[in-house]
Structures are given as structure tokens and as C-alpha cells.
Amino acid sequence: MTKVVVVGGGIAGIYFAYRLLQLVDARVVLIEPKENHEFVIGIPMAFGGLIDFDQLLFPLSQLRRVIHVRDNAKALDGKCVRLASMPSVCGDYVVLAPGAYKLGSVEYWNVEGAKKLWNNVEKAQSIHFIVNELNPVIGFQEIAYAIKTRFPEKRVSIHLVYVADDYRFLLNPWMTWAEGKGIEISEDPPQHRPGDLYISVPSVRPHPLVADLEPDPATMETQLERVYLIGDAALLKLGLPPIGWGALWQASLVAQAVASEITRGYIEVEPDIWSSMSDPEKFKNWLTYRMTSGTPLIHLKGLYDTWANKVVKTLS
């Protein structure tokens, strides 16, 4: 049976495994250092009180259709993945989905870090998000919205001091809408007041594991044959904002390509009309739709239910 090694059990890695196993029978080995898959897109929902933080954690031991190897991938030797504390794992295909490398002290990009932030948010009367990074970790704007929705009496502000143009493209429509909901938006840093909570939004970089790899923007294949790169790490390499909808699209595309080659011997996929190659503007608009359409938490609840009841359940 064809063996597919997936590195990273985040949004992209799990969605890839789900799509692949829908299409074809394969032996999927998942390399992931954490014991849980974390549905990080849902973190703002927990801030908004729609869900408990722990409901965003899905134990990987429950996924019967994938073999979980709990370790860190350290390097790639062709189609073999070198691990931190176990022997290498080799496959017929390798799909790399290690996410982005994050730098910062407020770790709202994982469930544990988000919980810690939540404890501080509960105590503060004024919460200020300071964006002073070219590529900030996305999600702060939805957390801000969730806090304001749950606690209308709290003062919530976002300070876009410095950010890449692509992020402005992403954030501008959302910001206009958020102002209408009572979130203060500014391009200046906040004034310091004792007792207020100041959140320096962390930044993202391409993951060091994939430093030497360049994904083809149409196929996500790297310069190494049958080695693919998807998710935030690939989006950053392609100069696109690292957001989940892009990760899902890439995961689906690569699953189709791998399944097609396994079953037919050649690659045939049905490219979506908004593919980044044929129409970059349409692609960006599609990616930003959910983030700008004004009811993010409700959208996320629907996505969470689908994720838990379809994606995770199918793999269990």
C-alpha cells in the first residue's frame, strides 16, 4: 500500500489526510510533536464564550486511520523525514505542513497560550492589540471582536503601527466593520495606562524545516519529487498571507494530486476557478471573504461543527 508521510498535524496536515483517505486507501503516517490536534481557527470562539478552550483539542490517539508518530521532524533526506528522537520515517510521498514559525511572547496561536491570555483579558478593563510586525500572526482581530462581543463594557483597541501591504488588504474591510462594533482602530501606539492589558501581536516566519524548499504555486510540489509543501509555511513562501482558507485549499489540491497518481498513474486534479495562478485577485478575495464578512464567530461555529463531526470523525 502506498505510504504517505505527513509532517504537522495542524489544520493543513489533518485536512490533507482527511481528503486523501476520502479518495484513496493509503497508509498515512503523521509526524506531530503534540498529543493533540489543535483547531486554532476556533480560538476566537473560545474567547467569545461559544466553546471551551479544551474543545479545540482533538487527541491524535483517537485517529485510527492515521499512524501518529509523536516527534519533531528535524530535516528531510529525499522522501525520508529525519526525527528528533526516533529513526527516520520514509514514504512514497511526503507532505510537509509544519505551519509557520512564530515569534512572540503572547502565544494566542495555540490553545495553552490562548488560555493564559484569556485569564489576563478577564481581569483587564482595557485591552490594546499592538501590531508592529511586517507579518503578524493572524487571528488577533477576531479575538478582539470576540472580547468586545462578550464584554461590551471593556475598551478594546487595535493599533496598526506597522504591517505589510498584504495584511492591510486583508484587514482594511474588517477594520471598518469592527469600528462600527465599538473596537477602536488607530495607526499610533497606545498611551500607557496602569492596569491596561497591552498585547504585542507576534510575528510569523517560514518554518526552518522547509527553509530550502520552494513550492510550485500551482501544484505545491517542491523541487524534490513527490515532496509537497502546504499550509502556512507554503503560503508564506509564496508571498501570500498565512490564513487557514489558503491552507485548506492547498491540502485539498495536493490530496487530489496524490490520490490521482496512486489510482491512475498520472496527476489530474480539478483546479478551483479561483486558483492563485489563474486569478490572484479572486483568490485573495476568496481567502478574505470569511474574515471580512462581518459575522466571524458564527461562521467559525459552523466550521468547527463540520471539523469535529466530519473531518475528525472520518479519521477516527
Ligand X SMILES: Cc1cc2nc3c(=O)[nH]c(=O)nc-3n(C[C@H](O)[C@H](O)[C@H](O)COP(=O)(O)OP(=O)(O)OC[C@H]3O[C@@H](n4cnc5c(N)ncnc54)[C@H](O)[C@@H]3O)c2cc1C
Q: What's the Cα-to-Cα distance from 187 to each of 128, 146, 184, 190, rounded to whole Å?
A: 12, 21, 10, 9
Site for ligand X in 147-206 (CB under 6 A): none
* 73 scored as a contact of ligand X (CB under 6 A): yes
Q: Which is nearer to ligand X, 268 or 305 (CB)?
A: 305
* 40 scored as a contact of ligand X (CB under 6 A): yes
Site for ligand X in 107-126 (CB under 6 A): 108-109
* 34 scored as a contact of ligand X (CB under 6 A): yes
* 17 scored as a contact of ligand X (CB under 6 A): no
Q: How many residues in the shown chain lie near ligand X by CB under 6 A? A: 39
Other CB atoms closer than 10 Å to residue 127's CB: what's the count? Answer: 23
Helix (H) or strand (E) holding 73: strand 73-77
Q: Quote the CA–CA distance of 214 and 218 in Å, as a whole number.
A: 12
Q: Contact with ligand X (CB under 6 A): which of 4, 5, 6, 9?
A: 9
Helix (H) or strand (E) holding 184: strand 184-186
Q: Contact with ligand X (CB under 6 A): which of 46, 97, 124, 259?
A: 97
* 247 scored as a contact of ligand X (CB under 6 A): yes
* 231 scored as a contact of ligand X (CB under 6 A): yes
Q: Contact with ligand X (CB under 6 A): which of 21, 32, 203, 222?
A: 32
Q: Which is nearer to ligand X, 250 or 256 (CB)?
A: 250
* 311 scored as a contact of ligand X (CB under 6 A): no
- Find the shortest distance in angstroms from Cβ 93 to ligand X: 16
Q: What's the Cα-to-Cα distance from 316 to each of 31, 33, 110, 251, rounded to whole Å?
A: 17, 19, 22, 19
DSSP string of 85-116, one letter each residue: SS--EE-SEEEE----EEE-S--TTSHHHHHH
* 142 scored as a contact of ligand X (CB under 6 A): yes
Beta bridge partners of 77: 80
Which residues lie below 8 Å from residue 46, measured CB to CB, with a gap of 6+? 52, 53, 55, 56, 114, 118
Q: Which stretch binds ligand X (CB under 6 A): 28-36, 116-124, 163-171, 266-274?
A: 28-36
Check: CB of residue 48 under 8 Å from CB of residue 310: no
Other CB atoms closer than 10 Å to residue 118's CB: what's the count? Answer: 16
Q: Quote the CA–CA distance of 257 and 200 in Å, as a whole number.
A: 40
Comparing every residue's Cβ against ligand X, the nearest one is 10
Note the residues at the interface with ligand X (CB under 6 A). Answer: 7-13, 31-34, 40-41, 43-44, 72-73, 97-99, 108-109, 137-139, 142-143, 209, 231-232, 242-245, 247, 290-291, 296, 300
